[in-house]
Chain A
Amino acid sequence: MALAATVHEQLAQREARLRLVPANERPLSPRTRARVERWEADLQAAADTIRWADAAIEQLAGLEDVAERERLLPLVRAARVQALGVVRQLNPDQAWFWTEEWQAGERAIDRRLAAGEHGTIYYTDEEFDAALRAHLHDPEPNAHA
């Protein structure tokens, strides 16, 4: 990727993130900050465990020692379930993102992007609208025109 395009992308992401900070935001009290830091650390640990478990499950699928694989898989899955429980407890609004099915899809996308593969690019509203319409159930011409 050309340097200019990379910087544009990074700039856009950082600006979008910074726009989320409320103008009237104030520092947290030490007590609240400590609680938030603990909450973030717990959530990070759960997310890390889910990522580890998903990677381990994929790797174990290729393990030739079937007995060992069958012994380990339930343990890894149990750790994943426990970690997802922590996410559901601490950040329920985004727990759906950490389910096995959703994560598998996100990983597949990351792999495609890392391999330099890209989806279809739509340069105009008309192109994007036409694609969305083409994929509608029972497409109706000009439904979104």
Chain B
Amino acid sequence: MPTREVDPRFWADYQRLTRAQQEQFVRAALRLAEDLERGGPIRASLRVKPMRNNPGIWELTWDGQDGRATFTFGPEQLPGKRHVIWRRVGGHAIFEQP
């Protein structure tokens, strides 16, 4: 499995999610880790894609309609293991921001 790093900002966002949303994110993050470990393509349901006009930042969809999270890949921390840095996570409210 990849090593993980969590920015303090991520935890602040995570605390704003409901318990159900947190659980959904945890499941999605686990699936991403499994796919990265396997080395094959990331399953389509996670809708992992690079942020346009912002090189290096990726988005993941953890809830079909609303849940999004951003992450980057960081320098290897353990030999042969990808390193995922979780940056931010948000639910429906992010779509209502001006």
Could you list which residues of chain A lie within 8 angstroms of chain B, going by C-beta atoms?
1, 5-6, 8-9, 12-13, 16-17, 19-20, 43-44, 47, 81, 91, 94, 96-97, 99-102, 105-106, 108-109, 112, 118-125, 128, 131-132, 135-138, 143-144
27 residue pairs from A and B, CB less than 8 Å apart: A6-B75, A9-B75, A12-B82, A13-B73, A19-B41, A44-B53, A47-B52, A94-B52, A96-B95, A97-B51, A97-B70, A101-B97, A105-B87, A119-B7, A120-B5, A121-B4, A121-B5, A122-B3, A122-B4, A122-B6, A128-B4, A132-B22, A135-B11, A135-B14, A136-B19, A137-B22, A143-B23
A106 and B1 within 8 A (CB): no
B77 touches A121 (CB 8 A): yes
Give the size range of B's interface with the partner: 35 or more
Would you call A96 and B75 a contact (CB within 8 A)? no
Chain B minimum-CB-distance residue to A123: B3
User: What are the residues of chain A within 8 A of B98 when measuring CB–CB?
Assistant: 81, 99-100
Whole-angstrom distance between the alpha carbons of A47 and B85 in the complex? 23
Q: A43–B73 Cα gap in the complex (Å)? A: 24
Complex contacts, B78 vs chain A, CB 8 Å: 123
Instruction: Determine if B14 and A109 form an interchain contact, defined as CB atoms under 8 angstroms apart.
Output: no
Which A residues are CB-close (under 8 A) to B90? 96, 102
Query: What 0/1 pattern do residues 44 to 87 of B give for CB contact below 8 A with A?
Result: 00000111111011110000000010100111111000110111
In the complex, A106→B1 CA distance in Å? 26
Q: B46 → chain A, closest Cβ, in Å?
A: 13
Q: Which residues of B contact A13 (CB under 8 A)?
A: 56, 73
Q: Which residues of B contact A91 (CB under 8 A)?
A: 52
